[in-house]
Amino acid sequence: MARYLIGRVLGLIGVLLVISFITFVLMKAIPGGPYDEMHMPLTGPQKENILRSFGLDKPFLEQYVRLLWNFIRFDLGYSFSNRSETVNEFFARAWPVSAQLGLMTMAVAFPIGIALGFIAALRANTWVDYFASTIALTGFVVPGFVMAFLLILVFTVHLKWLPLSGWDTPSHWVMPVIANALAPMAIAARYTRASLLENLHADYVRTAHAKGLHSRRVLFGHVARNAVIPIIAVLTPLFPILITGSVFIEQVFIIPGIGRYFALSVMHRDYPMIMATVLLLTALVGFANLVADVLYTIVDPRVRLTR
């Protein structure tokens, strides 16, 4: 297992290098820059001095190597659009907010989604299954930002129960969490139902019943354990996506998290912020997939980690 983990970590480093280069190329390919007339109009000497201080007057590859070297040293420097704080200080301030939103979203979405999937699978082709599947389908077809506006219309505009924006009190958390939880809840429900139905009709289940095992023992001792493997494969990569913030939800509710500022950094061509957010998400997704592989071996002893 140690060799496998080392190989995966080295592979993740390679992926980060490739993603960083592609991101840098795309950033430079977009017309305009962080200090052009559209974003921050400056005079000639002022603009030249700022470009020189950030190294933006250097050739393309030299800029990329410099930015990459700063990331290796975990010294991301100052944000182009906000020189009052470094990128490190920004992430220390904004990431806990996005992580809190993501963790609360998972705490709501995954238990409800898995429960709906279980109920739908155990009562397949009945009104219970149709009702649970309809709820899950709603999470697929209704985008989170649409649900966010509907929640604002009902609970803020008409009922005046919940505040519109902010992240200071529990009352500020209710609508963002509900809107953000729709999609992962639907994914959890659909995959749980499909995985359970596949295993409920497997040969080993009929054999277990033929041996006289109790239905509850067959369900939780055999079916659920085998069904959870594909569920792990689907849900684990959602963790880093959720804890790094939702661009739409954070924008709608004006939540001071990474997702909202990432959208602003793209608009203002803030290269350090864009690169930091993309590489952070890439690293977390790679780590989540590695955790999923390890969880496979815990859930199913037949699985072995080999290169």
Which residue type sits at 62? E
Token pair recorded at residue 1: 């297992």
pLDDT in tens, 12-37: 888 888 888 888 888 877 776 666 65
- The confidence band for 38, taking pLDDT boundaries of 50, 70 and 90, is very low
Residue 235: predicted pLDDT: 79
- CA distances 260 to 88, 105, 113, 175, 245, Å, are 17, 17, 26, 16, 8
**250 touches 259 (CB < 8 A):** yes
In angstroms, the CA 121 to CA 118 distance is 5
Nearest to 249 by CA among 145, 128, 120, 159: 145
- The whole-number average pLDDT for the span 60-72 is 82
Greater confidence (274 vs 305) lies with 274
Nearest to 190 by CA among 104, 114, 296: 114
**Average pLDDT value over all residues in the chain:** 80
Superfamily of domain 87-259: MetI-like (1.10.3720.10)
Question: What number of CA atoms fall less than 13 Å from residue 140's CA on the CB side?
Answer: 13
